[in-house]
Amino acid sequence: MVTYDEFMKDNKKVKILKELYLGNERKESFFDSINEERARILGNPLEYLDVAQRATELEGIEINTTDIQDRKWYEAVRRFVANCKEDIKIYNIPIGACTKEEFFNAENIIEGIVDQMDPKWSVKQKLAFVHFKMGELVTYMADYPSNSKPPTTQYIANARNIWKSLTSGISVCNGITYIQRAILSRVGVTTRQLSSGTHNFMLTETEDGNVITDATWDLEFTTFGCKPQYFGKTYEEFRKIDGDKSNAHKLEEPPINVISISDEELREIYYSIGIIGKDRKFDSKVNEIITEMKSREFSSQEERTGRVWELIEEKLGDKFAHIEECKSMFENCLRWHGVDLQNVTSQYVYALDDSEFMSPKLVINIKENNNTSSTKIIDPKGNRVLDISAEELQANYRYHKNNTQPPFWENQIREAQGVEREEGHEYKS
């Protein structure tokens, strides 16, 4: 056991221990600029419990989750954090932090997932299970695009923290990759983060070769129990999906020995881990919506659209907190049932008193065939789809501060007022 005095003696450049790094050694130059307050713990953190108990000015711990650490190592980290008397913040990368309480709550979530996995499963099975679980655990945080500027809101930094993301249910692409890797390393699976510079996804070493997955892009499907679409595709297949307008998956050095997983094999994998049944079909509520809509006839497009919204509320209401995934899935449901997406405006709005733009709400406006329109706002707390007028939106909501476009409801109000003035003039004459 390393005592606090021995630890500080070995780290002679550290004058005040405010930050600790747990994990493998990094380049010495990284620490030269901050080593007066920061030191490293390499190996098993249980050997340094005296450091945790006696450090009186400790403010934060960064836990290295980028390299393979087994389950026992994470259990040791948990003990170490539990022994810290100070109210520390915990990081997995330099930005975004969680509290000790959030750390322990998230570790319980991770351990629950690990416990559900059969140690005898293959790497593909473990990967498939964690990939699918991401749809239950987090939602992609909706935030107005900042064009690579610093985050527009603080939660975007926090969404990259593994433990903060798991307790809040909010994450972004690299945060989702970090979570998967932190889980899979505990069951002996070797992974690597892939980054195009604007997007992060993952490569996993399996028994048959390397597998590329993108759990972020699959959240739309795994959230609603649908078949994963971005699991086990080759690099070329991902680039084809990107198309000419996106370089989301473009890599300077594409990975080698990448294998493709067929639809048949994917279904077999998910059957073998208990996600789907013997029929090898994904039991999604979205399929129930499609089935009913196909079996009925409607007198008008408006009636048809109205029934789609009723089914969305009935079948998918428990997922309404997954705002970004709901936006995509609702658009798909409308498109599948005859609504021209050129007539659909999906927009995040913020209450006027939400000065930090922390709580986006989803509104969807549909132009009808008779030159009228209907607008819905999603209520995640009540699992409801509610009607809302342009006047109510104008009185209570706004776009994100970075969105310079005029709100769609302003045009509706102007058009309505113009008609009213014209009708009033005709009436008076």
pLDDT of residue 420: 56
Would you state the pLDDT for residue 232? 97
Q: Examine residue 209 and state whether it is found in any structural domain, yes or no.
A: yes
The angle at the Cα of 379, spanning 373 to 382, to the nearest 5 degrees, equals 135
Q: Are residues 78 and 175 in the same domain?
A: no
Look at residue 422 in the predicted model and tell me its pLDDT.
54
Last residue of a domain, one of 272, 305, 338: 272
**Tokens representing 251?**
């890599």
CATH of the domain at 159: 3.10.620
Report yes or no on 261 lying in a domain.
yes
Give pLDDT tens digits along the chain (429 positions).
999 999 999 888 898 999 999 987 655 544 554 568 889 898 899 999 999 999 999 999 999 988 778 999 999 999 999 999 989 999 998 888 999 999 999 999 999 999 999 999 999 999 999 999 999 999 998 665 544 344 456 667 788 999 999 999 999 999 999 999 999 999 999 999 999 998 999 999 999 999 999 999 999 999 999 999 999 999 999 999 998 778 999 999 999 999 999 999 999 999 999 999 999 999 999 999 999 998 989 988 888 889 999 999 999 999 999 999 999 999 989 888 888 889 999 999 999 999 888 888 999 999 887 778 899 999 888 889 999 999 999 999 999 888 888 999 998 888 777 665 555 544 333
Residue 339 lies in a domain: yes
Taking the CA atoms of residue 180, residue 242, residue 195 and residue 218 in that order, the dihedral angle to the nearest 10 degrees is -10
**Is residue 103 one of the residues assigned to a domain?**
no
For 197-255, the DSSP string reads: SS-EEEEEE-SSSEEEE-TTTTHHHHTTTPPPSSBS--HHHHHHHH-TT--TT--SS--
From the CB of residue 159, how many other CB atoms can be counted at a distance below 10 Å? 25
262 and 295 together in one domain:
no
Instruction: Tell me the one-letter amino acid at 267.
Output: R
| Token pair 């692409």: residue | 173
CA atoms within 13 A on the CB side of 398: 13
My answer on whether 71 and 189 are in the same domain is: no
Question: Do 122 and 11 fall within a single domain?
Answer: no
Let me know the angle formed at the C-alpha of 257 by 251 and 261, rounded to the nearest 5 degrees.
95
- Shared domain for 302 and 268, answered yes or no, is no
Tell me if 207 sits within 8 A of 124, measured CB to CB.
yes
How far, in Å, CA of 181 to CA of 68, rounded?
Answer: 8
Total domains in the fold of the chain? 3
Whether this model's pTM surpasses 0.75:
yes
Q: In the sheet where 38-41 sits, what is the strand order? A: 38-41, 19-22, 60-63, 89-91
Instruction: Please measure the distance between the N-terminal and C-terminal CA atoms of the chain and give it in whole angstroms.
Output: 96
pLDDT at 150: 43
Do 138 and 256 belong together in one domain? yes
Q: Which residues are registered as beta bridge partners of 378?
A: 385
Q: Do residues 297 and 257 both lie within one domain?
A: no
Interacting residues of 365 by C-beta distance below 8 A, sequence separation 6+: 344, 345, 347, 373, 374, 375, 376, 408, 409
- Phi-psi category of 178—alpha, beta or left, where left has phi over 0 and alpha has psi -120 to 50? alpha
Q: What is the pLDDT of residue 428?
A: 36
Is residue 107 situated within a structural domain?
no
Query: Do 388 and 357 fall within a single domain?
Result: yes
Q: What is the pLDDT of residue 429?
A: 30
Look up the CATH number of the domain holding residue 71. Answer: 3.40.50
Residue 313, both tokens: 């509320």
The Cα 125–Cα 187 span in angstroms is 11
Whether 185 and 226 share a structural domain: yes
Residue at which a domain ends, from 272, 307, 341: 272
* Within-domain flag for 145: yes
Q: What pLDDT does 98 receive? A: 96
Q: Residue 419's pLDDT is what?
A: 60
Domain span at residue 155 reads 112-272
Q: What is the DSSP letter of 299?
A: S
- pLDDT score of 311: 95
Instruction: Tell me, yes or no, whether 101 lies in a domain.
Output: no
Task: Let me know: does 329 contact 286? Beta carbons within 8 Å.
Answer: yes
Q: Which of 44, 61, 91 corresponds to the end of one domain?
A: 91
Is 318 in the same domain as 404? yes
Q: Is position 117 within any domain?
A: yes
What was the pLDDT predicted at 425?
47
Are both 72 and 117 inside the same structural domain?
Answer: no
Structure tokens at 339: 């609504």
Residues 266, 343 within the same domain: no
